[in-house]
Amino acid sequence: MDPMIRQEVGHELEPAIDIRDLGIRYDLRLTKRTTLKGSVAGMLRRDPGRENHFWALRHLSFKLAQSESLAVIGPNGAGKSTLLLALAGILEPTEGEILTHGRVSTLLTLGAGFEQELTGRDNIDLAGAFLGVPQEQMNELAPSIVEFADIGQFIDAPVKTYSTGMRARLGFSIATAITPDILLLDEVLGTGDQTFRARSQARVRELVDRAKAIVLVTHDLTFVSEFCNRAILLEKGQIIQEGEPGAIVDLYRERVAQRRLLAEEDAQRFAAVPAVGAGPAPR
């Protein structure tokens, strides 16, 4: 028996997602210098006052009930994608814990992990194995995946012969074929050409309808009120506000405008004192 078979943990009253005091820390020493020389140099230059890690998320707690859909909005670097990766289990919490109930799926998997020498059909099986979907279920899903990807005879040709568009279509088709209980979306609503985009949006909507809970991370504020019934504003790894999508979007717009105003003031002040330096000193 394939041990990856998902057992339905059917506690309807349990929240779909329960995040408790979540913290995710990146170690800058590891991310910045991946050669031995860099590490040795880093050790020699160890400067006690300097931060060599940074918290992408810190002290984050929220619950998402079944049938709720949550939008996470915030400026670049707020930790939105990190949150999504943590929910998907790709990043492990440094602090706190994440409890999820049901199959979690990201639509991030657009063609990552395709084996160039394998045919499209073999890659469908490979993707299923990576995602831990049982073979029988993959066999059932395969015809609809092939049909939706719409790449004709190429399905039996090696993926290296595909165009970028074909590859993206097949990736999207695989990623959306498996219906998750908790759907994580990272602005993947526009893939490929115009006709495929329309079809792919319809397919995402279908998944949204079927999923028990949704987390959407986006810059496109129009989707927020349409897809979601709750929203969180994230800034610098912390929740600023949580509530109705409309109110949160307004708050976000307000803060963006405020920040722009501050930035403009700064720029003017900077322009008034020109001889300080060419720019901020590199850290």
Binding site for other proteins (CB under 8 A): 1-7, 9, 26-27, 30-31, 34-37, 39, 85, 88-94, 97-104, 106, 108-109, 112-113, 115-118, 122, 125-126, 129-132, 135, 158, 181
For residues 124 and 174, the answer to whether their CB atoms sit within 8 Å is: yes
6 vs 259 by CB, closer to other proteins: 6
Residue 243 corresponds to which tokens in the numbers above? 């509530």
| Residue carrying structure tokens 């309807």 | 12
Residue 270 C-beta: closest distance to other proteins, Å? 35
Instruction: Provide CB contacts within 8 A for 120, sequence distance 6+.
Output: 146, 149, 151, 154, 155, 156, 157, 159, 162, 170
Nearer to other proteins, 139 or 258 (CB): 139
- How far does Cα 181 stand from its chain's mean position? 16
Give the CA distances from residue 178 to residues 89, 101, 198, 264, in Å, rounded to whole numbers and listed in that order: 17, 16, 20, 47
Between 88 and 233, name the residue whose CB sits nearer to other proteins.
88
Residue that has been written with the tokens 């996470």 in this structure: 72
Among residues 217 and 231, whose Cβ is nearest to other proteins? 217
- Count Cβ atoms within 10 A of the Cβ of residue 265 and give its class: 0-12 exposed, 13-18 middle, 19 or more buried: exposed
CB of 125 vs other proteins, minimal distance in Å: 6
CB of 115 vs other proteins, minimal distance in Å: 4
Nearer to other proteins, 43 or 267 (CB): 43
Token pair of 215 as six digits:
């987390």
Phi, psi of 249 (to 5 degrees): -60, -40
What's the min distance (Å) between Cβ of 119 and other proteins?
10
Judged by beta carbon, residue 151 or residue 188, the one nearer other proteins is 188
**Secondary structure of residue 131 in the 3-state scheme:** helix
Shortest gap between Cβ of 213 and other proteins (angstroms)?
A: 13
Residues with Cβ < 8 Å from 132, sequence gap 6 or more? 4
Output the six-digit token pair for 77: 């670097």
CB of 25 to other proteins, least distance (A): 9
Q: Least distance (Å) from other proteins to the CB of residue 204?
A: 17
> Which amino acid does the sequence have at 147?
E
Comparison of 115 and 140: residue with beta carbon closer to other proteins: 115
